Structure 1
Amino acid sequence: MATQRQAAGTGAQGQGGEHFLVVFAGFHRPWATWIAHRLETHGHRVSLHRWDPPREIPLESALGDLLLASGRILLVLSDWFFQLGPRPEGEWSEALRGVVAANAHRFAAVNLTNRALLPATAVLEPVDLWGIGAQEAERRLLGRLGLPTGGPRRSVPAGPGSRYPGDPPAVWGEVPRRNVRFTGRDDLLNRLQQHLMDAEHSTAVVALLGMSGIGKTQMATEYAHRFSSDYDVVWWVNCDTRGTLRERLGELAPELDLNAGSEPGERIRALKEALRRREPHGRWLLIFDGWDDIEGADDVLPEGSGHVLITSRNRSWGEGRAVVLDVPGFERGESTGYLMRRAPRLTAAEADEVAAELADLPLALVQAAAWLGESDMAVGDYLRMVRDGELSELADQTGLDDVPRSSLTSWSILINRLREAQPHAVELLSLCAAFAPGRIPIGLVRHLPASDLPEGLAWLATDLAGWTRALDTLVNYSVFTRDTRTALAGEEPGPEQESVHMHRLVHDIVGRLTSPEERALHRKVVRRTLAAADPGNPQDSRLWPRYAELLPHLEPSGALASRNERVQDTVLNLLRYCHRSGEFRTGVQLAEQVREAWSEFQPPEHPRMGELTTQQGNILRAYGSFRAAYELDRELLDRLRAAPGTEGTALMTATSCLAADQRYLGQYTEALQAQREVLETALDLLGPDDYLTLLAQHNLGTGLRLLGRYAEAYEVDLETLRKRESLLRARHPATLVSGNACARDLRLMGRYRDALARQELGMRLHLQVLGAQHPQTLRARHNLLLCERRAGVLQDAGAAMASLLEHTEQVHGRRHYATIGLVVDHGNHAREHGDLGQARELIAEGEAGFRELLGPAHPISTGMLTNTGLILQASGDRAEALTLFEAALAGLTATLGPDHPWVLGCALNAAGGRNFTGRLDAAHELSRDTLRRARQALGDDHPFTLSCEVALAMDLRGLREHEEAGKVEEDALQRLTRTLGAQHPHTLAARQRIRPYWDFEPYLG
């Protein structure tokens, strides 16, 4: 039962150094490690000895064995130390008076508690280290051992566990309270620590696996407390749902003073980067409790020098990054030790009999020990009831196959007895079973007025003393634990903020022991509680923690199928929260559940179904499921148009959603027509200054831009920007979106310097308002890079694009359309600067990604052919390049018409391809036509138009039309110099007679 650790210095005792054996219970490992480190710095040798001798070994013999060690023996004492075994106080007293007193010169002790120790410990003359600082604790330790406190010190590496245990980690993330009755598991905890310490860089992930009730959470809690001095950051994450997991993990970002905004995904991305970089702390521990749904785990799990501990029932963790550690039931000695400490009246034989009956299952032993410790029932009577009692509601039920029958009977006994003696406690317990297992914000129930509660439960709101007694009773009987989570921002701690943690197995058993009538009543109360707790504004990121808290309880409370309008409002607000906070995957799943439930009692044309469709479509669109969103929105709009008397705002919203879908699907003309209809309706119903009207106007600008009507888009966007600055504020996120749109328009119009100036200002505002990692900020940064590239001022664009791509991938993942678009722009830049290998890889990835996301016929998928053609042309494969140029030109002409700027760009490349393959007449013909169309679409002085003019001059020169070629070239050079400047890369390339080209920047809107 002992673990030895020979301290640094073994075999080379320093001058005047001694050897000390530090003896401790595993519970106090941090203190033992710190004591060893302090003694080592003073030149002494130290061995650590975890001590928990089996109960069958006489205590005098166990203490006598310690004397076999050389040097002096230092005991680390507390009231917990004397519960080892456990052993009767008399046995301890006799051993202290005997072995220890006879060898008093060998023994010394420190005391870590403010509680009274056994009188016989006086022989040890323990020095008190309770509640003092590190410097004073070291002085007292050395003084007790008769060692000098001054003099030279050895340089000993700090290492794990060397921080003073009285100094907590810099960040302590609401780890559950330490269980003072935690028993055994020492070998398992040491193995866990060893796995984490020995793991290679970026792979320090351990998953504790086991059945419900086996003690995984208790082990994780004990590890966090026992090894806390190894870490600077310890953060606990309850994994009730993916949404709560991400919300809770993201809350670590502000604790580390990271400038990461309030959106969970943004916070997680900033957090992962900080942890990877060891900034501001390199020694961190993240604990994910109850992480069973591991889809998307790689998006959450950090890398770096810290440690990740997971508790789960999902064995799939072993197939990935995690080292799996199976958690078995108690060993018999651990079972009996726990029972005898919790119920001191039990004899060793009785404890052994109870442990055997309950199959050493920790959760069952906790409940049995609580019952036997709190009641005066004879152990024999208890065992007879367990063996012979009827399981009533639990008999022959499925889903409890892993739970021993004796354990189920034990729970039945407890709840039936409480029902007789403490009915309020059982009512509160049954109410908790109507929430989801795990963390339950039970105090929210007290926000309900008594009139909203059933007559039998009105006491929940009015009887504070009864509430407190019921909670205390359930905690004392170990039915659940009080949660350590603090109140939300702006809330004063109190009964209304009370939370408890209910084990999944206990939750299941209590639910089965509750009658159907009571269960229905309690679920109704929980639904009302959730509705009352809804802050009512999911757009406010300060309220997102509350929404994350409510989310897990929707389904178990029956809220998804509720016909109550207030409850339905809450469900819709939680969908809005998923959309606003970036929890798209959770939102997609929740929306589908709601649709399935509401379809049972709501007709498709009901307004609620329309609201649901709007939110579901928004989430699907943001998630990249454009076709699914389109099908939903189109069906709703068709139904609304067919129904007589449809409300104008409902029709407007549905049309707006469909127009957004059409833009993403490449149906640009149809989308613009629908968006004009939306704007006209908004102006008529809401007026020109309404938020929704301005949103409709902004979307109109987007539609015009996608159709290549850049000047018109700029006029619309500039008007929207001015109104938003006036009606909202200059720093409102919607205003920033308009500023970004205006800069994009200016760039596409060829006004590169104006675009850059506006985007630089917008970028500064994005950083100040939203933070560096917000998705909107990343879009602004992308546009800034493109503005700098076109303006010819970016010196190291490749490094800047690579950095932005890394951050964007952290935000959205590699396959999101925003990331794919940046991959393409990065590839175009790499090709332009001669890195064909990287360019080929990036462009191929971008082309495949857009084809998979949008289909092969989408304008963006078609336009990508021209980027691939430029790679082939640069590699010398001119014939194949021309084939792709011509395919892109034909495809985009068919879908967008001959005058769209994207079509003109493809034509510029196709003319170049014809020239390079010797088809000079065809090249000249296409170049002249392209120049004519570019002048009409973009204007005479647009940089693209001037590129077309330079290309025409080259084709004329190829046909030996030197006089006209010279005139065309000279006109183009004068205009380029006047428009862009003599030193702009486009101007310099034209002077060097480098054939101009056009690379496609994919843009979805």
Structure 2
Amino acid sequence: MITLNTETITLHRLVQAVARTPDPHVDGDSHRQPADVHIACHAATALLDQARPADPADPAGWPTWRTLIPHVDALAQHAPPDTDTPTTARLLNHAANFLQDQGELARAIDYYERALNCDLRLNGPDHRNTFTSRNNLADAYRAAGDLRRAVPLYEATLADWERVLGGDHPDTLTSRNNLASAYQAAGDLGRAIPLHEATLTNRERVLGGDHPDTLISRNNLAHAYEVVGDLRRAVPLYEATLVDCERVLGGDHPDTLSSRNNLAHAYESAGDLRRAVPLYEATLVDCERVLGGDHPDTLSSRNNLAHAYESAGDLRRAVPLYEATLADCERVLGSDHPNTLTSRNNLAHAYQAAGDLDTAIPLFEATLADSERVLSGDHPNTLTSRNNLAGAYQSVGHLGRAIPLYEATLADRERVLGADHPNTLSSRNNLAHAYQAAGDLDRAVPLYESTLADCERMLGGDHPLTETVRANLEAVRR
């Protein structure tokens, strides 16, 4: 019933159930009085909190987390929420961080919500722990693609930080940065970019130009410029940020490696593959040396290099690298991790580019089914997967399947992301192109026209998507 070894104690489930259940009807049951069970519960909570790795994002601690999570689940299941302590809230927040990194978003959200309720009950609405728990919950909603809940929660959290700590407190500035990123994820770049700009200005003034948070703000602003196609501002800002990261943090710091990757991506977006590919290659070598071959950032770096090879038309290098990256993601992260699903989607796209649609389409279909199961039907990655499957159907002339899927994807993107999100505008262009392929110009031309007007209004006349829509409209008019 009890198994002991040098590192663990294993109790039979029946023993566990009896030990945690007080019986007031049994005289002389001196070891299972409610107060004793209560003390034991909090002792177990403290032991779990002491045993957890400090950084949930560090892969070195993942085996320990995987051992601890079933015990955290048992604690959450058997301990009533109204008995939670500050230690419980801290443990649940860290466990949720790990689960979120592993793609277990539904479980992470449950733990974040319980931690927030505990902080509200014990500390009140104006305590910093409460603000942190609220921000964590908003992060999880954003990761799950639930921006309708994430954005208001970020807004409320920022208002609370400003009211309690003031506008210049570092935690307030972090909250502003998070809200700007949420606006950007929701496609509201009209609010995201000014907020990123203001946050950077404030961080430079309060923290200094070389503070790591300031460098993060510069990178985020560059990324927002890149999203709207303003590469004339994005690329120089990425370049300057990388120089500062190398000088302040060192060439091997993870943030420096991320900055190199981001600059390579901007070069790729600008069509400058002669600079993008060597920078991706060098970044991957550094990630493998510094972080290890199995680190998530290393796997992302491999994926990015494969994509650059694909963009350059070098499918002989892209496809094997995608295949190896997917195998590593499945082994390290698991088959259902969001990064693994993205890797599968990318490999399917490379097969399609290579003309191997017999392999690409089943892989797109399986990836979409997994995305719907793991991430939900409304997650932005799921919507991307649907769009890609529709494109594959169109490539083989299956317009009877492609057009309804494009239409459904567009309706979902308008509902989830909003009508002006770049992905929604891309969906409109794709649907118009499918109508054109089907010979339905009465629907294709007006859709191209309205999409072009929206792209020019939201993204500007020089954005690559705007130029694509304009070229499609000119071609159909000819």
- Whether these two folds match at TM > 0.5 is yes
1:722 aligns with 2:243: yes
Query: 1:621·1:629 contact (CA, 8 Å) conserved in 2?
Result: yes
Query: 2:267·2:273 contact (CA, 8 Å) conserved in 1?
Result: yes
Amino acid at match of 1:674: L
Residue 579 (structure 1) aligns with: 97
Residue 770 (structure 1) aligns with: 291
More helix by percentage: 2
Shift of 1:698: 1.9
Q: Distance in 2 between matches of 1:866 and 1:588?
A: 27
Residue 595 (structure 1) aligns with: 116
Residue 177 (structure 2) aligns with: 656
Post-superposition Cα deviations, 1:62-85, rounded to whole Å, max 9, x if no partner, equal xxxxxxxxxxxxxxxxxxxxxxxx
Residue 346 (structure 2) aligns with: 825
More strand by percentage: 1
Q: Which runs of 5+ in 1 are unaligned?
A: 1-213, 222-235, 239-288, 291-310, 315-360, 362-393, 413-508, 960-1005
Amino acid at match of 1:685: V
1:675 aligns with 2:200: no
Shift of 1:753: 2.6
Greater mean alpha carbon deviation, residues 618-627 or residues 647-656: 618-627
Mapping of 1:182-193 within 5 angstroms? none
When residues 588 and 780 of structure 1 are mapped into structure 2, their CA distance, relative to the original with a 3 A threshold, is: same
Residue 322 (structure 2) aligns with: 801
Post-superposition Cα deviations, 1:484-522, rounded to whole Å, max 9, x if no partner, equal xxxxxxxxxxxxxxxxxxxxxxxxx3x6498799x69x9
Query: 1:863·1:892 contact (CA, 8 Å) conserved in 2?
Result: no
Q: Distance in 2 between matches of 1:516 and 1:912?
A: 65
Residue 295 (structure 1) aligns with: none
Mapping of 1:397-436 within 5 angstroms? 397-398=22-23
Query: 1:656·1:678 contact (CA, 8 Å) conserved in 2?
Result: yes
Shift of 1:780: 1.1
1:917 aligns with 2:442: no
> Helix, strand or coil: the match of 2:343?
helix
Shift of 1:763: 0.5
Shift of 1:575: 3.8
Shift of 1:602: 1.8
Q: Distance in 2 between matches of 1:955 and 1:583?
A: 45
Shift of 1:749: 1.5
When residues 839 and 938 of structure 1 are mapped into structure 2, their CA distance, relative to the original with a 3 A threshold, is: same
Residue 685 (structure 1) aligns with: 206
Q: Distance in 2 between matches of 1:889 and 1:721?
A: 37
Amino acid at match of 1:398: D
Query: 2:393·2:401 contact (CA, 8 Å) conserved in 1?
Result: yes
Larger Rg over CA atoms: 1
Post-superposition Cα deviations, 1:468-487, rounded to whole Å, max 9, x if no partner, equal xxxxxxxxxxxxxxxxxxxx
> Helix, strand or coil: the match of 1:907?
helix
Amino acid at match of 1:824: N
When residues 692 and 572 of structure 1 are mapped into structure 2, their CA distance, relative to the original with a 3 A threshold, is: farther
> Helix, strand or coil: the match of 2:121?
coil
Mapping of 1:355-394 within 5 angstroms? none
Mapping of 1:428-467 within 5 angstroms? none
Residue 264 (structure 2) aligns with: 743
Shift of 1:662: 3.9
Shift of 1:789: 0.7
Q: Distance in 2 between matches of 1:947 and 1:583?
A: 37
Query: 1:572·1:612 contact (CA, 8 Å) conserved in 2?
Result: no
Q: Distance in 2 between matches of 1:792 and 1:587?
A: 40
When residues 644 and 688 of structure 1 are mapped into structure 2, their CA distance, relative to the original with a 3 A threshold, is: closer
Residue 561 (structure 1) aligns with: 85
Q: Distance in 2 between matches of 1:742 and 1:924?
A: 37
Return the structure number with greater relative CO, CA threshold 8 A, min gap 6: 2
When residues 901 and 749 of structure 1 are mapped into structure 2, their CA distance, relative to the original with a 3 A threshold, is: farther
Query: 1:584·1:619 contact (CA, 8 Å) conserved in 2?
Result: no
Q: RMSD of the alignment, in Å?
A: 5.3
Residue 313 (structure 1) aligns with: 13
1:907 aligns with 2:425: no
Q: Which runs of 5+ in 2 are unaligned?
A: none
Post-superposition Cα deviations, 1:260-280, rounded to whole Å, max 9, x if no partner, equal xxxxxxxxxxxxxxxxxxxxx
Shift of 1:779: 1.2
Between the aligned residues of both structures, percent identity stands at 20
Q: Distance in 2 between matches of 1:639 and 1:868?
A: 43
1:701 aligns with 2:222: yes
Post-superposition Cα deviations, 1:816-853, rounded to whole Å, max 9, x if no partner, equal 43333333222222333333343333333445566674
Shift of 1:641: 5.2
Residue 462 (structure 2) aligns with: 937
Query: 1:561·1:594 contact (CA, 8 Å) conserved in 2?
Result: no
Post-superposition Cα deviations, 1:878-900, rounded to whole Å, max 9, x if no partner, equal 466456667878997995659x5
Shift of 1:685: 1.8
Q: Distance in 1 between matches of 2:91 and 2:445?
A: 58
Q: Distance in 2 between matches of 1:741 and 1:640?
A: 30
Post-superposition Cα deviations, 1:410-442, rounded to whole Å, max 9, x if no partner, equal xx7xxxxxxxxxxxxxxxxxxxxxxxxxxxxxx
Shift of 1:724: 0.9
Shift of 1:735: 0.8
Q: Distance in 2 between matches of 1:589 and 1:763?
A: 36
> Helix, strand or coil: the match of 1:599?
helix
> Helix, strand or coil: the match of 2:122?
coil
> Helix, strand or coil: the match of 1:601?
helix
Post-superposition Cα deviations, 1:236-276, rounded to whole Å, max 9, x if no partner, equal 874xxxxxxxxxxxxxxxxxxxxxxxxxxxxxxxxxxxxxx
Query: 2:265·2:276 contact (CA, 8 Å) conserved in 1?
Result: yes
> Helix, strand or coil: the match of 1:795?
helix
When residues 915 and 768 of structure 1 are mapped into structure 2, their CA distance, relative to the original with a 3 A threshold, is: same
Shift of 1:768: 0.9
Post-superposition Cα deviations, 1:592-634, rounded to whole Å, max 9, x if no partner, equal 4433333223221222311232344446656777666545434
